[in-house]
Amino acid sequence: MRGSWRAVAMVLSGLATAGSAVAQQAAQEAEGPTVEASVGTAVQDRTLQGAAETFPASVGTVYCFTKVGKTRSGDVIEHVWYHGEQEVGRVKLNIGGSPWRTWSSKVVPPEATGDWRVDVVQEGKVLKSVSFKVQ
């Protein structure tokens, strides 16, 4: 009889551990995706080049490079580009897995100096915001 109770206790302990793992996974999914983002002057071999917070007016094109995790294939994020408070571009980016790297770019005219930012958005929620200056 004593051995039976030990077996029951071990089974119940295993169920509690499995339930805890399922709860942790559900909590992570509820938190949403993880996002890293930065801006630079090029993307080569899926790597951002020329990362900076300030660019000269002659920069030409700025790239926003984003790495997302805790996502599913088929998810979509957007890069929303702002010059000051005015939206100047919106790019939809499809996610192919997790983790996933993707990027968009914006041509910056020489006269478009000042504060810029790119919001990484999913389903209307800003996941990350990257600010930079053009001077």
Q: How many domains does the chain have?
A: 2
Domain identity same for 76 and 12: no
Q: Are residues 16 and 80 in the same domain?
A: no
Residues 121 and 57 in one domain: yes
Q: Which helix (H) or strand (E) holds 18?
A: helix 2-31
Examine the domain organization and report whether 70 and 25 are in the same domain. no
Same domain for 88 and 62, yes or no, is yes
Q: Read off the pLDDT of residues 97-109 as tens digits, 9 standing for 90 and up.
A: 999 999 999 999 9
Q: pLDDT tens digit string along 23-71?
A: 544 444 567 899 999 999 999 999 999 999 999 999 999 999 999 999 9
**Whole-number Cα distances in Å, 126 to 54, 69, 78:** 22, 15, 9
Per-residue b/e over 64-88, b at no fewer than 16 CB within 10 Å? Answer: bbbbbeebeeebebbbbbbbeeeee
**pLDDT at 11 (0 to 100):** 53
**Residues 26 and 38 grouped into a single domain:** no
Whether residues 23 and 37 fall in one domain:
no
Do 44 and 18 belong together in one domain?
A: no
Q: How many CB atoms lie within 10 A of CB 26?
A: 10
Question: Which residue range is the domain that position 5 belongs to?
Answer: 1-31
Mean pLDDT of 89-118: 97
| Dist CA 48 CA 15 (whole Å) | 45
Instruction: Say yes or no: 48 and 3 in one domain.
Output: no
Whether residue 9 is predicted with pLDDT greater than 80 in this model: the reply is: no
pLDDT confidence band for 16 (50 / 70 / 90):
low
Residue 22: what pLDDT?
Answer: 53
